[in-house]
Amino acid sequence: MTEHNNSGVVFVLGGARSGKSRFSEELAAATGLERHYVATGRAWDEEMRDRIARHREDRGGAWTTHEVPLDLVGCLRATDQADRCILVDCLTLWVTNLMMAERDMAAEFAALAELLPRTKARIIIVSNEVGLGIVPENRMARDFRDHAGRLHQLIAAAAAEVYFVAAGLPLKMKG
């Protein structure tokens, strides 16, 4: 077993297809720890089912995968061990799932932000930065953008390191 000094949570933000997931997987592999992948996506349609299958195949057998559309905090509690690296991909899909389930967003976000500083595992969290574009035209999209922005601020505050990835290039913003 590899010794690990958990230096906290790593938060990786970027746009769609920016390279943030690949970068996060490389960070996780470099830890030498047992790797757990927490997938928050749901297969709402055939294209998403295919996308999820491709992601599973691309990761290969080095990962234990947990499909967790809603109970992210419960999954992190259940898998949290010092000899593990847990990669959560991604927060924006989790936000979508919470919105569709009409969950209490503030309570869910607070529970996650409260848990993160107490974890023993190395936690890498991936999310899409959606606040850099134009104001969305409909209320649900605006609510989504606002929820994601508030969550990102909480996670960035709790994280030891924060990266922004664009065009496959990570920019370290914190830590």
User: How many Cα atoms are found within 13 Å in the side-chain-facing hemisphere of 78?
Assistant: 9
Element (H, E) at 89: strand 84-89
36 annotated active-site: no
Report residue 97 as tokens. Answer: 């799932």
Report residue 144 as tokens. Answer: 């989504």
Residue type, 173: M
Q: What is the DSSP letter of 120?
A: S
Residue among 4, 55, 66, 152 flagged as catalytic: 55
Q: Which of 149, 41, 157 is nearest to 94 (CA)?
A: 41
* Active site (catalytic) residues: 55
